[in-house]
């Protein structure tokens, strides 16, 4: 189905998404209600449901107010929370038929647990939450690195043309980090130019394609030989060891 995804900036640097099928609207991760309500009022439209990737406040903070405004519309979430005690639970492999769309639920823990992604296979779109954030990945928040690394591998196995809609506008800063660990990557250098131009014009860097992330995002490129020369790594380091060191370096960047 031909759909439009609207990226609505909320809070300081989050995105809430509105999936527009032409007939129905679905909201993904409304971290704040105000900008979403305003947008809906301007369109004079009523949303049909809310989809939640994970329960961090900057992804669910707008749910209560949206449900007050729109008659308790259904919420799909990997777990219930205070704004949606009656949330419809979603689990790995589950199909959700909503507004004529077939969402596939991917279990993607490691930044938060639980954390899911919503994949529209036919449309080639993944709402990936904070698992992969343009040019990098989400923080571990105490989870073991292998959990997030496994989730990133699962995302990386999707078709390369998949459009990724992630939770934060961090791409420009993430590119600066990527350049320190992968300074000679021509695809990365080219992407940085495009990202800087978009941000100068105040435009979002979402969506990216998985192919672009595979070419430029160090956290899904841990198999590349060059990373083995980073401090603290051996030539024979495993991909997970590379990921762990990269994540630690990024935390301190
Ligand atoms: Zn988060």
- Rounded to the nearest whole angstrom, what is the distance from the C-alpha of residue 152 to the centroid of ligand 1? 15
Q: Fold for 4-251, please state it.
A: Metallo-beta-lactamase; Chain A (3.60.15)
- Please give the pLDDT value at position 195: 98
CA torsion angle 100 105 106 108 (round to 10): 120
Domain ranges of the chain: 4-251
The phi and psi torsions of 129 (rounded to 5 degrees) equal 60, -135
11 — pLDDT class (breaks 50, 70, 90): very high
- Rounded to the nearest whole angstrom, what is the distance from the C-alpha of residue 40 to the centroid of ligand 1? 24
- Rounded to the nearest whole angstrom, what is the distance from the C-alpha of residue 128 to the centroid of ligand 1? 11
- Rounded to the nearest whole angstrom, what is the distance from the C-alpha of residue 58 to the centroid of ligand 1? 7
Whose tokens are 């979403």? That residue is 36
- Please give the pLDDT value at position 179: 97
- Between the alpha carbon of residue 44 and those of residues 36, 40, 103, 110, the distances in Å are 12, 6, 25, 38
72-84 average pLDDT score: 96
pLDDT digits (tens, 9 = 90+) for 141-167: 999 999 999 999 999 999 999 999 999
For residues 74 and 59, give the distance between their C-alpha atoms in angstroms, rounded to a whole number. Answer: 16
- Rounded to the nearest whole angstrom, what is the distance from the C-alpha of residue 13 to the centroid of ligand 1? 12
- Rounded to the nearest whole angstrom, what is the distance from the C-alpha of residue 112 to the centroid of ligand 1? 6
For residues 47 and 83, give the distance between their C-alpha atoms in angstroms, rounded to a whole number. Answer: 17
176-187 average pLDDT score: 97
Q: What is the pTM of this model?
A: 0.98
């Amino acid at each position: 189905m031909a759909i439009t995804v609207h990226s609505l900036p909320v809070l300081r640097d989050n995105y809430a998404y509105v999936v527009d099928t032409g007939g129905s609207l679905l909201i993904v991760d409304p971290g704040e209600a105000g900008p979403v309500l305003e947008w809906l009022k301007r369109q004079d439209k009523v949303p049909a449901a809310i989809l939640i990737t994970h329960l961090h406040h900057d992804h669910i903070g707008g749910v209560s107010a949206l449900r007050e405004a729109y008659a308790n519309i259904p919420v799909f979430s990997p777990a219930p929370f205070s704004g949606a005690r009656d949330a419809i639970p979603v689990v790995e492999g589950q199909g959700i038929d909503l507004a004529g769309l077939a969402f596939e639920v991917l279990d993607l823990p490691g930044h938060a647990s639980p954390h899911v992604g919503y994949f529209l296979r036919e449309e080639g779109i993944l709402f990936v939450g904070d698992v992969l954030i343009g040019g990098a990945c989400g923080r571990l928040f105490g989870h073991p690195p292998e959990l997030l690394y496994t989730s990133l591998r699962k995302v990386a196995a999707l078709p390369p043309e998949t459009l990724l809609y992630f939770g934060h506008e961090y791409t420009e800063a993430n590119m600066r980090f990527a350049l320190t660990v992968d300074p000679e990557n021509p695809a990365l250098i080219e992407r940085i130019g495009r990202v800087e131009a978009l941000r100068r014009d105040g435009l979002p860097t979402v969506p990216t394609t998985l192919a672009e992330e595979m070419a430029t995002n160090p956290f899904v490129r841990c198999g590349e030989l060059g990373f083995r020369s980073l401090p603290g790594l051996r030539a024979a380091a495993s991909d997970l060891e590379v990921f762990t060191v990269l994540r630690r370096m990024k935390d301190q960047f």
